[in-house]
C-alpha cells in the first residue's frame, strides 16, 4: 500500500521533506499564521500584529488572528507588536511615524494624516502637537495656514484667533497695518466710507481745504473749514 501524507493543521507548518511524524509540525511563531499543509508561515500584514508566542495553533490558523494596530501605531518588522508614534506625528501606511507638516498638528499620535489648523490659527513648524492663534491685528483666512497675515490699513482684529479683519466704521480709521482697534476722526473730519486709513472728508457744514497743511495728522486735525453762510457744503465737500 502507498503511503498517505497528512497535512499539518492550520496554524502549524513543517519545512521538513519526507517527514514521518506529526511532531515535525510546529506552531507558527508570533506575528505569523498559516493554512493547512503549509511549509512555512505567513507574516501578518502591515498594520496588524500577533503577540502569541506559539502557544496554540488556533492562535495562528487564520489571517484574522492578526490584530489591527491601534490608531497612531505602526507595525514592527516581526509583527509581534505595534510601535506607538508620538504627538505631532501620524502613522503613515502603518510603516513609519511621519511628522505633521506645517499647517497641521496632532495632539496625540494619529493614523494616515494630521489635523488641519483651523482658520485663525497656524503652525509654521513640522511635528506640531497644537496650533497657535493669530495675534491681535492679524488673521488667517484658511485652514492649514503656516502663518498669519497683517490686517490692512482701514481694518482691525481686536482679539486673537480671528479668520478675518473687520472694517473700521465710518468716521473711524486704522492708518497702519496690524491694527487691533480704530481711531476716531477728529471732528469735524470724517471718512468717505468704512474701511479707511485716513480721515479725508468733512461732515455737513464743512469742506475739505487742501491748502491747509494737515496731512501729518491721520485723524484729520484742522483740515476741515467751516462753510460760509449760505454756502451749500454737504458731507464730503472739497475746495475746488
- Mean of the per-residue pLDDT values of the chain: 89
CA-to-CA dists, residue 216 to 175, 176, 206, 221, angstroms = 11, 14, 20, 9
Q: Report whether 95 contacts 113 (CB < 8 A).
A: no
Residue appearing with cell numbers 491681535: 136
Cβ-contact 163, 137 below 8 angstroms = no
Determine the length of the chain: 240
Instruction: Identify the CA nearest to 235 among candidates 197, 175, 191, 198.
Output: 191
> 12 — phi, psi (to 5°)?
-125, 170
Q: For the chain, what is the total number of helices (H) and then of strands (E)?
A: 0, 25
DSSP label at 178? T
pTM of the model: 0.75
pLDDT digits (tens, 9 = 90+) for 1-18: 556 778 999 999 998 876
pLDDT in tens, 117-147: 999 999 999 999 999 999 999 999 999 999 9
Pairing of strands 89-92, 110-111: parallel
Measure the CA–CA gap between 221 and 138, rounded to whole angstroms. 28
Amino acid at each position: 500500500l502507498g503511503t498517505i501524507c497528512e497535512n499539518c493543521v492550520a496554524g502549524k507548518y513543517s519545512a521538513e521533506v519526507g517527514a514521518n511524524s506529526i511532531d515535525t509540525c510546529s506552531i507558527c511563531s508570533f506575528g505569523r499564521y498559516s493554512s493547512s499543509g503549509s511549509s512555512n508561515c505567513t507574516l501578518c500584514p502591515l498594520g496588524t500584529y500577533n503577540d502569541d508566542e506559539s502557544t496554540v495553533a488556533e492562535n495562528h490558523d487564520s489571517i484574522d488572528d492578526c490584530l489591527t494596530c491601534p490608531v497612531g501605531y505602526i507595525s514592527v518588522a516581526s509583527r509581534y507588536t505595534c510601535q506607538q508614534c508620538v504627538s505631532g506625528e501620524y502613522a503613515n501606511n502603518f510603516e513609519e511615524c511621519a511628522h505633521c507638516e506645517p499647517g497641521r498638528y496632532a495632539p496625540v499620535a494619529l493614523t494616515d494624516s494630521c489635523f488641519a489648523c483651523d482658520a485663525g490659527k497656524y503652525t509654521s513648524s513640522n511635528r506640531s502637537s497644537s496650533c497657535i492663534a493669530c495675534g491681535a491685528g492679524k488673521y488667517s483666512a484658511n485652514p492649514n495656514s503656516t502663518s498669519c497675515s497683517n490686517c490692512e490699513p482701514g481694518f482691525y482684529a481686536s482679539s486673537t484667533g480671528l479668520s478675518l479683519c473687520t472694517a473700521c466704521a465710518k468716521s473711524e480709521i486704522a492708518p497702519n497695518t496690524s491694527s487691533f482697534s480704530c481711531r476716531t476722526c477728529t471732528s469735524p473730519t470724517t471718512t468717505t466710507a468704512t474701511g479707511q486709513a485716513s480721515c479725508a472728508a468733512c461732515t455737513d457744514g464743512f469742506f475739505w481745504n487742501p491748502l491747509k497743511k494737515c496731512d501729518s495728522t491721520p485723524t484729520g486735525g484742522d483740515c476741515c473749514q467751516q462753510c460760509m453762510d449760505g454756502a451749500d457744503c454737504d458731507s464730503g465737500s472739497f475746495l475746488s
